[in-house]
Structure 1
Amino acid sequence: MSTPDYHLEEELHAQGFLRVAGVDEVGRGPIAGPVTAAAVILSPGAIPEGLNDSKQLTARRREALEQALITAAEVSIAHASVEEIDEINILRASHLAMERAVAALDPPPDFLLIDGNMIPRGLTIPARAVVKGDATSVSISAASIMAKTCRDRLMVDLAQHYPGYGWETNAGYPSKSHKNALRDLGITPHHRRSFKPVHNILYQGKSVSS
């Protein structure tokens, strides 16, 4: 597995793009909770050591890097809601969260490095899509860490209000225990009704009131 570095950012700096933001999202696969995106502009002289794809790091390491990034970088985090996911589909909702995260950076970036193979259509800033970007660019890996730690914490909070679904450990992903709880306890307002496991239960008429 390759380790992300700063070479893409340095190439863009040489072209005159000094404020380069890495952008990534988490939460496309879960059947509950929002999709979350982050945009991060690193300072070349203060890049935290150990940045990597958030999935390659332990929760403790992600949390330590989160604190380092809050101190040393410009960070913005945004979400698209379950209702938006169901209305416009998960791909568009993940792009909407990215657009919101970018829009919240002030002053705005000069250039965006976007994880994946698509550039969200609502962006007006020059951008490049980077496949496996969180393993290529430290700015994108920083964004993946910020988005994941924020979303994981949000799902832990939601789990306190809707116990039994295991969101504090599965983060809303369709684990076996989560799907069993969905069948036994019903659908909550935080479940994505357009996703098949939830959709199937919905048609059986079992839901949990808010």
Structure 2
Amino acid sequence: MNAPFFKFGYFNTDVSLIIAFIIGIGFGFALERGGFGSARILAAQFYFSNMRVLKVMFTAIVTAMLGVYYLSVIGFVDLSLIYISETYILPQVIGGLILGIGFVIGGYCPGTSVVSFATGKLDGLVYILGVMFGIFVFGEIFPFITDFYYSTNMGSLTLPQFFHLSYGMVVFLVVIMAVGAFAAAEWSEKKFAHRNPENQL
């Protein structure tokens, strides 16, 4: 096994932060070039008229999944050393709903709002300020919701463990799901093209 590199001591924490920063800059650049610095493009997802977000993100997920899986198959990556956050199913579902509502209202997620602001868009700045305010409020009320925050702990759970399937089978099923999602996205873009906010400028 040769990876994850950090876990095998190929570089220290300081170097890992520098690498993370460089990767983050690259990721932000890719998002901007993909059009994800525009709230109109992102909002079109919820009108089913421009499914670029689903296509790009699902492609990234499948690419990373296949890469990690096959690198583990050939013995290059030790999957047991990859950090997986613990699953707190109820608070994470509620948090996801809150994030989704904010996404629909503001047209951005936290990452794309930074990309938007980096390209000079003021609505991105407003969204970032909203995120910071939300973080402040969460910090203030956290003592009152601590029990809920740590409730329904399922540990570091993966899909193969949850469904009692092999990693290979889960990878195969996700790829099939992606193909179906891409086909559905193409259909919805044609069906709901008239709803696209970009066409209402």
Q: TM-score range by the shorter chain?
A: under 0.3
As a proportion of its length, which structure holds more strand? 1
Q: Which has the higher contact order (CA 8 A, sep 6+)?
A: 2
Larger Rg: 2
What TM-score do you get using the length of structure 1 for normalisation?
0.26
As a proportion of its length, which structure holds more helix? 2
What TM-score do you get using the length of structure 2 for normalisation?
0.27
